[in-house]
A and B are shown apart, each in its own frame.
Chain A
Amino acid sequence: DTAVSQTPKYLVTQMGNDKSIKCEQNLGHDTMYWYKQDSKKFLKIMFSYNNKELIINETVPNRFSPKSPDKAHLNLHINSLELGDSAVYFCASSHASNQPQHFGDGTRLSIL
């Protein structure tokens, strides 16, 4: 059984478009996250949700909007995509902020 699943795995689109990435976890975790990993493998937290409520919102352009319809889902919507948005985006979940995280396999976003 997949613990944290995110779709799509690959996303190729043009500058200026709007796209969404979906994430679901079946671990019963209370906390979910979105990370951006750049070409140098640096993993930067973007958002953290606990029980559907936003608790962490790092310095991220407001073109990025997370949405948590329930505890098991955290989706990421991106408006007006820019070249610099090209990266791998990871969803993760955990019981609490200082506990081990379970990661999805990432969504590779390429902006043309």
Chain B
Amino acid sequence: SQQGEEDPQALSIQEGENATMNCSYKTSINNLQWYRQNSGRGLVHLILIRSNEREKHSGRLRVTLDTSKKSSSLLITASRAADTASYFCATAANSGNTPLVFGKGTRLSVIA
């Protein structure tokens, strides 16, 4: 069954603004990952946050994780037109060979 649910489904902002996307999940996790997908391309891994971490940064990306609420957020600061893409969260279970489960994604449009 689907694990991650992103919110909102679509987001449109002006260049330079910040974009926040949220992900909620249902069961306990080993880690949570965020991916970006540009139109016509495969998913690209952005950042991984472990279940014992609360916040992680990578360049203009900031990810938070609240395991008590089973939710995560991805913040993109000072957005650029090139950030236009779909963003997916994926949860990794604690048990062995269970594959990542991807949410439905948030479609981000950054208008120049």
Contacts and interface: CB of A to CB of B under 8 A. Distances in A.
Q: Which 7 A-B pairs have the closest CB atoms?
A: A103-B42, A98-B92, A100-B45, A43-B102, A103-B43, A55-B97, A105-B42
B99 interface: yes
A50 B88 CA distance: 24
A104 B104 CA distance: 19
Contacts of B31: 98
Contacts of B41: 105-106
Contact of B96 (A43, A90, A97): A97
Contact of B99 (A56, A102, A104): A56
B33 A56 contact: no
B2 to A, nearest CB: 8
Contacts of B58: none
Given A45-B99, A105-B42, 17 more contacts: A42-B102, A42-B104, A43-B102, A48-B99, A55-B97, A56-B97, A97-B92, A98-B31, A99-B92, A100-B48, A101-B43, A101-B45, A102-B45, A104-B42, A105-B40, A106-B41, A106-B42
Contacts of A100: 33, 45, 48
Interface residues of A, number: 23
Interface in A21-78: 33, 40-43, 45, 48, 50, 55-56
Nearest to B31: A98
Contacts of A97: 92, 96-100
A109 interface: no
A4 B41 CA distance: 12
Interface of B: 30-31, 33, 37, 40-45, 48, 86, 88, 92-93, 96-102, 104-105, 107
A98 B93 contact: yes
Given A100-B45, A105-B41, A106-B41, A48 B104 contact: no
Given A98-B93, A100-B48, A40 B99 contact: no
B97 to A, nearest CB: 5
A102 B92 CA distance: 15
B97 A48 contact: yes
